[in-house]
């Protein structure tokens, strides 16, 4: 029978494989266009732009995420129990207490953000506080603290930036290939030209699917680590079932920040809708609950 430790190891390995594929896509796009246009500097420009974009996202991702959902600092008097719960679990996890924020929204949900454990933020909706009992809320907070401890938020920030970068890069190079046809390297045959153009069209789609796959893997890993932290996987499993039964979207749901939340902010998709689940930032709730119930603590 699977344990929390084996599940964690598998998900870490799969996630880094997917991140490696991202880098390969960037390199291949830059290389392909440099060959097509006979200009090796294009590859270096592409990689340099990706590096600058990642550095910017590293420093400002938490501020952007908080502002985009309208989160406000949780008053320590009004939300005393929430602060106490976060602090106790952070101590157990060996982490500094994250800043705690509240989102005024009836949809139950929560997310974590921040570039590292010393700049972490945990935000919960008022809907989450109203429907969860203590053990369920503890499971949700433990899940989010696992994202902080595993540096998941930084990984997902890089993934988001790379998706946007690949889309912009592919669009720019596609226009260059049309408008700069006279600059094309004469040694590059027609098959190379077709392959490069096709790759630039398909690359953004592939990158988006990879980003979604990374997000889904990180949710399984955070579920496993969260259950390990509380030593009570039933609490998180029960919380996930409540989250999955709420189908209405959040008021300020956004594709930009959807992957940060513990459940899909656009509402749950039925487990049987394969195509919807493929393009979802989260794995189906029944699969997550099943993974938790099958593990030994």
| Residues recognised as catalytic | 144
Instruction: Kindly give, in sequence order, each residue whose CB lies less than 8 Å from that of residue 274, ignoring residues fewer than 6 positions away.
Output: none
Distance CA 99, CA 87 (A): 10
Which SS3 state, helix, strand or coil, does residue 20 take? helix
For residue 100, what are the β-bridge partners? 122
Tokens for 8? 């964690």
Question: Residue 167: is it exposed, middle or buried by C-beta count within 10 angstroms (0-12/13-18/19+)?
Answer: middle
By C-alpha distance, which of 222, 7, 49 is closest to 122?
A: 222
Q: Are 115 and 58 in contact (CB under 8 A)?
A: yes
List alpha helices for 70-185, DSSP H: 80-93, 126-131, 134-149, 152-179
Helices 134-149, 80-93: inter-axial angle, 10-degree rounding: 50
Tokens 């499971």: give the residue.
139
Tokens for 19? 């991140």
Q: Are 288 and 215 in contact (CB under 8 A)?
A: no
Distance CA 89, CA 101 (A): 16
Which SS3 state, helix, strand or coil, does residue 123 take? strand
By C-alpha distance, which of 125, 119, 70 is closest to 98?
A: 119
């Amino acid at each position: 029978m699977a344990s929390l430790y084996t599940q964690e190891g598998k998900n870490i390995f799969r996630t880094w494989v997917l991140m490696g594929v991202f880098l390969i896509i960037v390199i291949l796009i830059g290389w392909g266009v440099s060959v097509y246009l006979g200009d090796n500097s294009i590859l270096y420009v592409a990689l340099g732009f990706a590096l600058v974009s990642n550095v910017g996202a590293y420093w400002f991702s938490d501020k952007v995420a908080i502002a985009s959902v309208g989160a406000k600092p949780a008053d320590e008097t009004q939300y005393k129990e929430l602060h106490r719960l976060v602090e106790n679990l952070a101590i157990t996890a060996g982490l500094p207490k994250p800043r705690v924020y509240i989102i005024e929204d009836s949809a139950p949900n929560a997310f974590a953000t921040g570039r590292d454990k010393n700049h972490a933020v945990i935000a919960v909706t008022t809907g989450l506080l109203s429907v969860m009992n203590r053990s369920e809320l503890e499971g949700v907070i433990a899940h989010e603290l696992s994202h902080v401890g595993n540096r998941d938020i930084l990984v997902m920030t890089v993934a988001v930036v790379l998706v946007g970068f690949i889309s912009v890069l592919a669009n720019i190079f596609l226009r260059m290939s049309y408008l700069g046809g006279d600059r094309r390297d004469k040694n590059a045959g027609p098959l190379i030209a077709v392959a490069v153009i096709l790759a630039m069209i398909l690359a953004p789609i592939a990158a988006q699917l990879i980003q979604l796959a990374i997000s889904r893997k990180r949710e399984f890993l955070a579920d496993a680590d969260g259950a390990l932290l509380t030593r009570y996987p039933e609490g998180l499993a029960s919380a996930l079932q409540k989250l999955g039964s709420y189908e209405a979207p959040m008021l300020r749901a956004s594709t930009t920040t959807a992957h940060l939340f513990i459940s899909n902010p656009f509402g749950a998709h039925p487990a049987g809708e394969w195509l919807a689940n493929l393009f979802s930032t989260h794995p189906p709730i029944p699969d997550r609950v099943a993974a938790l119930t099958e593990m030994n603590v």
